[in-house]
Structure 1
């Protein structure tokens, strides 16, 4: 009987669900999570809590905003049937394919896709100009 003592990478359901990488069998997943969590430290100056008209408000520092924006780098906003849907890609090739290829049609409705930006406004119509090729079958 041959026994392979090399640890093979195993993707656990938890890792896949949380968007993590490959874990090695026998590795303490909680320990690796704690190690990544310790890389980030939230300081008291990063959060400003206040009350605005009796409603609690939380303002974050520019450092925290930059961290959050970095996480949203590969996010696109989809508008389908009048509803906004956001999706965060993990692969730059998939992100570019969705933005560049198209137009996308789902259930006979055009799906508009736009990259997420800091100044994203869901009330703003996007895109403002669409180039379309229309074929009229009864014309020569």
Structure 2
């Protein structure tokens, strides 16, 4: 389970095959993945190699104008959790030059 993530598309429900095809294209996978359809529109995705890191932190993922939440699997995960408690997000500050920020400010 070390290279397993849980994904959910926010705001829209789409079928298993559509999700599998879209994330395979988005993530530009080098190796096949195993995907399992869970309850409440969650999917579990297992990776064989370094594709795991790319999918987890690569960039914000969007399918049909809806964000795909991506988080590492944990033993505390439950499909009964309707709301996402923690989510990695990207924040773009276009007027802030690269390198002109402090980690403590972020």
So what's the TM-score if we normalise by structure 2? 0.50
The structure with the largest strand share of the pair is: 1
So what's the TM-score if we normalise by structure 1? 0.39
Structure showing greater Rg? 1
Structure showing greater relative contact order (alpha-carbon pairs closer than 8 Å, 6 or more residues apart)? 2
